[in-house]
Structure 1
Amino acid sequence: MRQGPLAGRYPAVAAMVVFALVPYLALSAALGPITPIIARDVDLGPQAMNVTLGMANAGYAVGTVLAVQFAQRLPQRRMLLVYGTLLLVGSVLTASAVNPGMFIVGHVLQGLCTSLLLIAAVPPLIIGYPASRLRSTVVILNVCIFGAVALGPVVGGIQANAHGWRPLFWVVTGIAAAALVLSALTFQETPPVDPGSPIDYPALGLATVGCVAAFFGASELLTHPFVSAYTIGPLLGGLGLIVVLFIHEYTAKRPLLCVGSLVSTLPVAGVVAAICAAAASVSAISLTLDLLARHTTPLRLGLTYLPEFGGAVITAAAFSVIFRTRWLHYYVLVGLLLLSAGIVIMNGATPPTLPLAGVGSGLVGIGVGASVVPALFIAGFSLRSNNVQRVFAIVELLRAVAAFMVAPILLHVAASVGNGIDSGTRTALWVCLALSLAGALIGVGLYAAGRVRPPAPSVQGWMSGQEPGWFSPVLFSRFRPGVEQDESCL
């Protein structure tokens, strides 16, 4: 069996995962202050630039489903090299772009390949090593996914202060190259999961068309009213297709995504918490950044949001201790409540002062770090570990739709509701607060309706792949005696 010189070495594989995920996730939060500079240099108008960013986010969402399909029928580690190569190509195109086509193609490739790498590389890091390594892995996931996003405003502010953007994109290119090199050095031949499985064309088509349409409609809100052929039609139509995707996967005999087995109390509560936390946190940060950018310099503004990264680091460390205990469930609830508190603080003045924004961003960082990845593990522990890739794909697809699509909608609300941008932002932040509290209340309600006493996961049993980490009651089991759970993907 062919393998690289660093195959199976946990530090090298973990570094590869970090280098693969950080570039695009950091860029997605760093582009705000440098977007006008990029648009000017590559000759893209504001609306065209906004659509480009929307299509990159759509690529990220679609890649979660494509990665699962490729893993079923193609050698996974070989595909990891393909994804890494395409990410490097996309990064070079964006960094060296001299016209719209180069930047558009390159940035969309960055979004698509990041999620392909995420779904292909992270599950083996979780289940491919002894349980003793899981503590390090959960820290890496939290810091890698949310730490990168939290650092985005700081990085963008530094680059905007220098009145440029290419140095940042060349740094991203260097990191992508390091990820590709590590992918080759840690190469270990891995067969397809199920080479005889059918290609799920309906799932691929629904995911692709639905995400592209929904993100296109949301990105058009920059220059069009909400009720417009360019916005509401693609937006609602795309969301409808994503709903149809999940209905199809729930009813299919051989589903690509294990939707049916996730329809029980604990995973549904976890997914709802992740969606609400992602939508509320990204939107709240985007709204306050947009508002405060009118009152201060990009560098000072970016440094104001540095506490968000500190919050992500703190929660990652705490999660590494809590994830093996029944306190995991309460941890997600506390995270949603702290996220809500951060939004309230940032909404305490209009516009918020820089100190209020700093304190609020710190609480938002703690809140989102304590809710999204922990909620992913609540869903993942409910199935056998060999299905973690599919679970991760479902959660990341929904998280991407919630995080990257709700924010532009609420930015449009802030600009068009009330007597000005200040009052509009206040209204939009109240919506963020409602989303965060809804995640907490729905989760508590589902636990009560399922008669759940928060269990501690059987990590060793789950890692063996022979059994779930715990038993998850059917939805609303308190009111549905005798109903059995679908165990097709457990």
Structure 2
Amino acid sequence: MLLATCISTLVVNANTSAVAILLPAISEDTGMSVDTLQWAVTGYSLVGAAVIVTSGSLGDVFGRKRVFQLGLLLFVASCVLIALAGSGEVVIAGRMIQGAAGSTILACGLSLLTVANSGQEQVRAVSLWGAAAAVGAAAGPLVGGVLVDVTGWQGLFWLDAGIAVGCMLLTAATVAESRDPDRPRSIDYLGSVLVALTLAPLILALSKGGDWGWVSAATLVSLGVCVVAGIAFVAVERRVAVPLLDLALLRNRVLVGSTVAILIGAGTINALMYVLSLYFQDPSALGFSPLEAGLATLPATVGLVVVAPLVPKLAAKVGGREVVGIGFLLTTIGFAWVGLADSSWKYGAFLLPLVVVAVGMGMSNGPASAASTACVPVDQVGAASGVSNMARYVGAAVATALAATVYSTVTSNQVADGQARSEALASGLAATSWLMAVFSLAGVAMVVVMGRRAREARGTLGDSAAAAAAHTHTLPTTATGHAEPATT
């Protein structure tokens, strides 16, 4: 079980972080513009946000092994669909299916581990799962770059499909079924649909508003649908027996502050990786190959994972909210630094600001994630974890769509005004980075919202693993107030 769940989460997170590196190659093969192909990234996160809590509920009711296996099967099918795709539209559709599959694998895989183990074995299993998630997210861009050069962009999806089939066989042979007999069988399907209906038109408006006009009928209608769906979601969540989002949790100031901090952190790092992947590979900018671009992003991805495990002990000494504030301040400085970029910058000029961003992200993610589960009673840890995990997907979807719009709009406008393409691309990157700096500065304000009421993790090895995985998934820590991680 440990092997199957850890390998599957590693593959899912590697796949997720690798796709931005593949977009120029996919665009060249399918003829679809990179601006439109950003839906392969944002669509994945959109569907993941809608499904991640529901898939955990399905596992509790119908069997965690069964739903985990269905997630793996859906992941294999989506990989095959994408690898065989002859058009960008099929790639985007496959990635949306993959968003549902990935969130299901993560939610049910972790649930299988926590239910099947107890005491120190549970801590060890969850810690290894968290480490696998962190390694996968860090290695994805490099693996994607290698495979594009060696096999073509389809190679990543064929490899992932093969590994997922192996996980299915291993799970079928070795994992026992489990479910929660005490949980009500009611599942909030409508809530999941309304989450998607809220996010989809918002992302559409952010993506196309520049072309349509920000006050055009199409943009306003999209935003109107978003608002109506959001209001309907709140109304539904007040009435269903087992809501997707327990609205009572939103009265918890610490949870709200930490969740917004998680959303900002996930959004800005995903937006950064998306834009840098395009900028590094553009012939008018640095002109890197996919492999070189994957290597170039390592300071941001690996640096984040390396720093994160050191943070819990620091937070235990000086306070989690203080570490979160310092982390967001560093990311603000790093993004503002990249905001000074011009066409004369070589890769060496990006290196130090990327390290600053990575260190800041590593410092803010872990304590914010720990606070989100430490500020609620033990019986609400799973619900709080679900809220923060949904926030990650929402942040990634919205921030990436916004970054893609700013980057492409500034670039195209400057080219239309007669600027050299290299200068226009640098201006697009700078504008996007300044926007991410503003978001990161808003993250500093979340320190005030979080207050001091959350318990601090003690800085154990398990806490370090949870911190390393914090940019991909919330794991309970010693700050939850009991010795063992709670079932999520």
TM range (shorter): 0.7 to 0.9
List gaps (5 residues or longer) in structure 1: 1-11, 472-490
Cα distance in structure 1, aligned partners of 2:405 and 2:428: 9
- 1:394 corresponding residue in structure 2: 387
Please, which of 129, 141, 148 is the counterpart of residue 118 of structure 2?
A: 129
The one-letter code of the counterpart of 2:84 is S
Cα distance in structure 2, aligned partners of 1:238 and 1:144: 35
Cα distance in structure 2, aligned partners of 1:136 and 1:324: 23
Q: Measure how far apart 1:135 and its partner are.
A: 6.6
- 1:119 corresponding residue in structure 2: 107
- Does residue 314 (structure 1) correspond to residue 303 (structure 2)? The answer is no
After TM superposition, the structure 1 stretch with the greater mean CA deviation from structure 2, 189-198 or 274-283, is 189-198
Please, which of 328, 340, 345 is the counterpart of residue 332 of structure 2?
A: 340
**Distance 1:262-1:379 versus aligned 2 partners, 3 A rule:** farther
Q: Measure how far apart 1:170 and its partner are.
A: 1.5
Larger relative contact order, structure 1 or 2 (CA cutoff 8 Å, min sep 6): 2
List gaps (5 residues or longer) in structure 2: 415-423, 461-475, 483-488
1:318-348 CA-partner distances (Å, limit 9, x unpaired)? 2465677774444333332332232233234
**Distance 1:227-1:171 versus aligned 2 partners, 3 A rule:** farther
Identity of aligned residues (%): 21
- 1:302 corresponding residue in structure 2: 294
**Distance 1:414-1:458 versus aligned 2 partners, 3 A rule:** closer
- Does residue 331 (structure 1) correspond to residue 326 (structure 2)? The answer is no
1:35-93 CA-partner distances (Å, limit 9, x unpaired)? 24334545656566444544333222221132144145322222111211221222222
What TM-score do you get using the length of structure 1 for normalisation?
0.78
**Distance 1:346-1:48 versus aligned 2 partners, 3 A rule:** closer
1:139-158 CA-partner distances (Å, limit 9, x unpaired)? 742x5445434434333433
1:392-441 CA-partner distances (Å, limit 9, x unpaired)? 32212221111122122123223334744433432321221111121122
Cα distance in structure 2, aligned partners of 1:135 and 1:437: 36
Q: Contact 1:287–1:425 (CA<8 Å) still a contact in 2?
A: yes
**Distance 1:197-1:106 versus aligned 2 partners, 3 A rule:** same
Cα distance in structure 2, aligned partners of 1:327 and 1:71: 36
The one-letter code of the counterpart of 1:297 is F
Q: Measure how far apart 1:215 and its partner are.
A: 3.7
Cα distance in structure 2, aligned partners of 1:369 and 1:240: 36
Q: Contact 1:76–1:192 (CA<8 Å) still a contact in 2?
A: no
The one-letter code of the counterpart of 1:405 is V
**Distance 1:232-1:366 versus aligned 2 partners, 3 A rule:** farther
Cα distance in structure 1, aligned partners of 2:395 and 2:227: 11
- 1:481 corresponding residue in structure 2: none
- 2:61 corresponding residue in structure 1: 73
**Secondary structure of the residue that 1:171 maps to in structure 2?**
helix
**Distance 1:291-1:22 versus aligned 2 partners, 3 A rule:** same
Q: Contact 2:25–2:153 (CA<8 Å) still a contact in 1?
A: yes
**Secondary structure of the residue that 1:300 maps to in structure 2?**
helix
Q: What RMSD, in angstroms, separates the aligned Cα atoms of the two structures?
A: 3.6
Cα distance in structure 2, aligned partners of 1:444 and 1:314: 27
- 2:17 corresponding residue in structure 1: 29
5 Å-filtered alignment, 1:79-228, equals 79-98=67-86, 103-125=91-113, 128-131=117-120, 134=123, 137-138=126-127, 140-141=129-130, 143-162=131-150, 164-192=152-180, 194-220=182-208, 225-228=213-216
Q: Which has the higher helix share?
A: 2
**Secondary structure of the residue that 1:112 maps to in structure 2?**
helix
Q: Measure how far apart 1:223 and its partner are.
A: 6.0
- 2:456 corresponding residue in structure 1: 456
- 1:9 corresponding residue in structure 2: none
What TM-score do you get using the length of structure 2 for normalisation?
0.78
Q: Contact 1:57–1:400 (CA<8 Å) still a contact in 2?
A: yes
